Amino acid sequence: MAVQISPSILAADFSRLAEEAAAVSGADWLHVDVMDNHFVPNLTLGVPVVESLSRATDTPLDLHLMIEDPDRWAPRYVEAGAASVTFHAEAAGAPVRLAREIRAQGARAAMALKPATPIEPYEDLLPELDMLLVMTVEPGFGGQAFLDIMLPKIRRTRELIAKHGLEMWLQVDGGVSADTIERCAEAGADVFVAGSAVYGAQDPAEAVRRLRAQAQQ
Ligand code: DX5
Ligand code: ZN
């Protein structure tokens, strides 16, 4: 499993997004958290900002849609330049159709699970997806404490991916840091979102390198 790091710009300075993206040019992805104040109690950014950001950086954009009605909006984010789009299982009306649509547009399709949502009901959907995101905090805010009780779900998801012989990636998001990334990797995660652990560091590029090295151990 190749380790990938996806710094979350939620923890960056929104008035300097292009520079903040450039500060982590060694990362595999840039994680972009879209919140609508309905699916989660917070509001961030939308399609126009993603369009501008995708023009301003060569790092592929990893969109995390914490919004209602992703069936309607996810394709718009692919058009805006996203290379990967993650919708929430709890919000999608027709997840299989949506994943197929995202893939048909040429992007990677991913589905996220809130902490209280189990993976088992979605086992049959896994072949339709390029990545599964196990949230390790309640979505909505950066800087929250990592939920250790999610480790069994990460392990179980990795087992199901292996059982079906799939190539798909397993992402974790929320409270991922130097203190927690090894536990996530050991449980089977291979794509690591980190907001405050990267942009809260003195040197964000160095923080990305360190997280990658720790996850590879
Ligand atoms: C939370 C977002 C995360 C957030 C992570 O709802 O999905 O991507 O930016 O921030 P940290 O790494 O600080 O927990
Ligand atoms: Zn996120």
What CATH number does residue 105 fall under?
3.20.20.70
The pLDDT of residue 1: 79
Write out pLDDT tens, residues 66-77: 999 999 999 999
What's the distance, CA 203 to chain centroid?
A: 22
Residue 172 CA to ligand 2 center (angstroms) comes to 9
Q: Which ranges of the chain have pLDDT less than 70?
A: none
* Nearest atom, ligand 1, residue 11 CA: 9
173 has catalytic annotation: yes
What is d(CA 49, CA 174) in angstroms, rounded to the nearest whole number? 22
pTM value?
0.98
* Predicted pLDDT of residue 217: 84
Closest ligand to residue 136's CA: 1
- Given the residues 36, 62, 130, 173, the one annotated as active site: 173
Q: Report yes or no for ipTM above 0.90.
A: yes
Q: Does 106 belong to an annotated binding site?
A: no
**Which domain does 100 fall in, by range?**
4-216
Backbone angles phi, psi at 163, to 5 degrees: -55, -40
Domain total in the chain: 1
